[in-house]
Structure 1
Amino acid sequence: MQILFDTRDFPPRWHCGNWTDLHGWIHIVADVATGIAYFAIPAILIYFIRKREGLAFRGVAWLFALFILSCGSVHLVEATIFWWPIYRVSALFKALTAIISIVTAIALTRILPRALQLPGMAALTEKLQVEVAQRERTEEALRDRNYELDQFAGMASHDLKAPLHSIRNFARWIEEDSENSLSDESLDLLSRLQTKAGQMDELLGGLLDFTRAGAALDPVELDLTAEARATVELLTVPPDGTVEVGSLPVVTAQRGAIRLILRNVMANAIKHAGRPDVRIRVRGRMEGTDCLVEIEDNGQGIAEEYSEEIFDIFTTLQSGRDTEGSGMGLAAVRRATATLGGRVWVEPTEGGGATFVVQIPHASNVSLLGSKA
């Protein structure tokens, strides 16, 4: 190592030949500037290599960085030799630079055929445009198919309701007219027939709600407090139950979707409360340009592992309980919320129960006082 820095056999470059100050300093400044640039370039290149995922020919890029770095070292040593004649160090750096340069050249030769096969920017742009156009056509076809399916489901549900109502009415009339002549078993079967017909009617109603939830209508300015109060008037609240409507903001949204969300969430809370003194609180608040509507109940609550599953279509958690559900109500709520551009989720209520939170984007101002029902 000492021999590399032994300068006894060489004079400083200033003393080799007849250097003028101008001539010498041109060499020095040029070598220093080139060396600094050759250190900066690989630093930028290395940063790019580390940050860019999926970079083609990453190994060659590292060789380029090392090659440029070694060249910069040679230039800095050349500038130093004017005062410190470390020619042996200079020779070592030049040899290393030569080796790295040869390895880089060989690597470039080996990857050249593959590099030539890479598509150019114009080809990539054209391919991307074709893929985007194809995806748009696929999405358009999917929207059309979904619309057709929704229309079919809506019409089928509506058309099935009429004969279903007739079945329920016939069963009730037979039960009323023949109550004294039918056996207890027959009366029980008629009662079960009416119950099942009622459940089917509820399922069809939920299916209609689900199809309507995806309908895109023109948004209007809505006072959520008034909408919530109107919804409460349509619900069958137990005598010992209460529904408290607090202060809610004004939003710009689709009226049908808002009414469906409020009605289904509150009806779900009443239906599955599991207690006669059900208590529901509806309140809202602003978060930026969005409105959050919270519908809180004191019912049986929802386990965390089911917090997403409950919004799936035909999913109900009532197995083994007296109350049966169609599994459509909350699925329609999620679909209607998505139509508004928002989302819905459920949180546990302190002290027991569940709180459904509905995010409605682009709300404005606030409403006034709440009420109780």
Structure 2
Amino acid sequence: MQWLGTNTDVNDQRSEKKARRATEKQLQVVMESMSEGLVISDSSGKLLHWNPAALRMHDISNAEEVLTNLRSFARLYELSTVEGAVLPIEHWPLARILGGEQLHDLELRVRRLDREWTRIFSYSGAILQCGDDKDLAFMMIKDITERKYAEEALRDAKVNLEHKVNERTAQLVAKSKELENFCYSVSHDLRAPLRGIAGYSRLLFESYHECLDEEGRSFLKNIGVATTHMSSLIEDLLSYSKLERQKLSTTAVRLSSFLPQLLDQFKDSIENARLTVKVDDLRISADPDGLAIALRNLIDNALKFSRFAPEPAIEILAQPADGYCILSVRDNGIGFDMRFYHKIFEIFQRLHRAEDYPGTGIGLAMVHKAMERMGGRVWAESEVGGGAVFYLELPLYSTPTAVIPAVSASG
């Protein structure tokens, strides 16, 4: 019976060894086939194992070169932060793991000292207890060089793009300011000689009326019409350039009191039109002067382009929509072809003959500029012969504050 028991123990031991060898072989196969690098050391810092991926990552053909300890490894390599600060060996990943730290994706730059070779690795690892009071340090390594270079290239491209955009924006702003200053100066300087032309042509017509034939008097009348149009154009140019110079004062505007004051300026010309106003008691966040300029030009256009309608009609509505207010000005006038929509908000652009519908082509450009300065939007819908509707979008005002309904008479 004693012999049988001993034989059984020997068989059990052999089975355990066989199972252990099978497990170790499977583990070896897993480590050999890993794409990540794996380095194992004992608690004293002796490097016990490098898998093939770890050797390839470090450009090592002979494991004996480094399979000793960190000091021997340090004779071939230098570790630094991604930014380039060189690390002493005590701060290397394996040294920190042996000191009890658990590392997760620590990114470091690795450089070989014997030739031009640099990579960026990500390190993770911890101490594992393997029984018999034997602790092993496991360190996983991932080569993230290409990813980091791509991130750096993307970051540099973004910085360069932002720099170019800022530089181009500054150039455009400077050019815009220069153009506005030029426009203001020219318009201002043209008024004096234009007044002289208008004044002397009027004196010539009044004082020498009988001395001129019909053709001469017609010439003088044409001069008068041209100077009047030129004067209007100059005044509109000054208003347009002044709009950019005006201080923006965004506040709460109550439409129910703002619009009646604005419409009072059109009381003579609006008598022949059927006017509908529905704005409820909405308050919007806007610059009162800028809003007055936008609405004044839209109402003026609605009156002008619907004057030949059998029954001119203008409708002004205000409706809330997702935190914004949509103001609309609709008329039943001649409308316009939407194929030319892209032109209507450009300065000096006209879609109708000046002889039929007088104007300078600046009004809608001022509407667009005013809305742009207030952070709002303007757009339009129309069809030829079917009238037009212009929309203004501005945020609703939600915070209690002083309400300013006043409208600037000058715009």
Where do 5+ consecutive residues of structure 1 fail to align? 1-17, 39-114, 368-373
1:325 aligns with 2:359: yes
Residue in 2 aligned with 1:201?
Answer: 231
Cα deviation, residue 261, structure 1: 0.3
- Asked if 2 retains the 8 angstrom alpha-carbon contact of 1:301 and 1:348, the reply is yes
1:186 aligns with 2:186: no
Match of 2:322 among 288, 311, 318: 288
Structure-2 change in CA distance of 1:159 and 1:176 (3 Å)? same
TM-score by length of 2: 0.56
Residue in 2 aligned with 1:177?
Answer: 207
Where do 5+ consecutive residues of structure 2 fail to align? 1-14, 36-144, 404-411
Bigger relative contact order, structure 1 or 2 (CA pairs below 8 A, ≥6 apart)? 1
Residue in 1 aligned with 2:296?
Answer: 263
Structure-2 change in CA distance of 1:202 and 1:359 (3 Å)? same
Higher strand share: 2
Give me the whole-angstrom Cα distance separating, in 2, the residues matched to 1:135 and 1:351. Answer: 43
Structure-2 change in CA distance of 1:347 and 1:363 (3 Å)? farther
Structure-2 change in CA distance of 1:194 and 1:342 (3 Å)? same
Cα deviation, residue 256, structure 1: 2.2
Q: Is the deviation greater in 294-303 or in 138-147?
A: 138-147
- Asked if 2 retains the 8 angstrom alpha-carbon contact of 1:286 and 1:363, the reply is no
Higher helix share: 1
Match of 2:272 among 240, 261, 280: 240
Q: Per-residue CA shift, 1:336-364, capped at 9, x if unaligned? A: 11111121111238993111111113444
Structure-2 change in CA distance of 1:244 and 1:178 (3 Å)? farther
Give me the whole-angstrom Cα distance separating, in 2, the residues matched to 1:238 and 1:174. Answer: 37
Give me the whole-angstrom Cα distance separating, in 2, the residues matched to 1:322 and 1:160. Answer: 26
- Asked if 2 retains the 8 angstrom alpha-carbon contact of 1:298 and 1:349, the reply is no
Q: Per-residue CA shift, 1:79-129, capped at 9, x if unaligned? A: xxxxxxxxxxxxxxxxxxxxxxxxxxxxxxxxxxxx979945345434533
Structure-2 change in CA distance of 1:137 and 1:174 (3 Å)? same
- Asked if 2 retains the 8 angstrom alpha-carbon contact of 1:213 and 1:339, the reply is no
Residue in 1 aligned with 2:171?
Answer: 141
Q: How many percent of aligned residue pairs carry the same amino acid?
A: 24
Matches within 5 A, 1:1-373: 119=149, 121-122=151-152, 124-215=154-245, 217-235=248-266, 237=269, 239-247=271-279, 249-275=282-308, 277-319=311-353, 322-348=356-382, 352-364=386-398
- Asked if 2 retains the 8 angstrom alpha-carbon contact of 1:243 and 1:280, the reply is yes
Q: How many pairs align?
A: 273
SS in 2 for 1:169: helix
SS in 1 for 2:209: coil
Cα deviation, residue 180, structure 1: 3.5
- Asked if 2 retains the 8 angstrom alpha-carbon contact of 1:291 and 1:362, the reply is yes
- Asked if 1 retains the 8 angstrom alpha-carbon contact of 2:337 and 2:383, the reply is no
SS in 1 for 2:224: helix
Q: Per-residue CA shift, 1:169-224, capped at 9, x if unaligned? A: 33333333333332221221122111111221222233223323434512122223
Give me the whole-angstrom Cα distance separating, in 1, the residues matched to 2:314 and 2:359. Answer: 19
Structure-2 change in CA distance of 1:225 and 1:206 (3 Å)? farther
Structure-2 change in CA distance of 1:22 and 1:221 (3 Å)? same
- Asked if 2 retains the 8 angstrom alpha-carbon contact of 1:297 and 1:355, the reply is yes
Name the amino acid aligned to 2:388: A
Name the amino acid aligned to 2:344: I
- Asked if 1 retains the 8 angstrom alpha-carbon contact of 2:336 and 2:383, the reply is no
Structure-2 change in CA distance of 1:22 and 1:296 (3 Å)? farther
Give me the whole-angstrom Cα distance separating, in 2, the residues matched to 1:168 and 1:198. Answer: 8
Rg larger in structure: 2
- Asked if 1 retains the 8 angstrom alpha-carbon contact of 2:335 and 2:385, the reply is no
- Asked if 1 retains the 8 angstrom alpha-carbon contact of 2:183 and 2:237, the reply is yes
- Asked if 2 retains the 8 angstrom alpha-carbon contact of 1:221 and 1:250, the reply is yes
Name the amino acid aligned to 1:266: I
Structure-2 change in CA distance of 1:273 and 1:135 (3 Å)? same
What CA RMSD, in Å, does the superposition of the two structures yield over aligned residues?
3.9
SS in 2 for 1:357: strand
Give me the whole-angstrom Cα distance separating, in 1, the residues matched to 2:185 and 2:303. Answer: 29
- Asked if 2 retains the 8 angstrom alpha-carbon contact of 1:207 and 1:328, the reply is yes
- Asked if 2 retains the 8 angstrom alpha-carbon contact of 1:157 and 1:208, the reply is yes
- Asked if 2 retains the 8 angstrom alpha-carbon contact of 1:213 and 1:333, the reply is no
Residue in 1 aligned with 2:101?
Answer: none
- Asked if 2 retains the 8 angstrom alpha-carbon contact of 1:286 and 1:292, the reply is yes
Structure-2 change in CA distance of 1:225 and 1:351 (3 Å)? farther
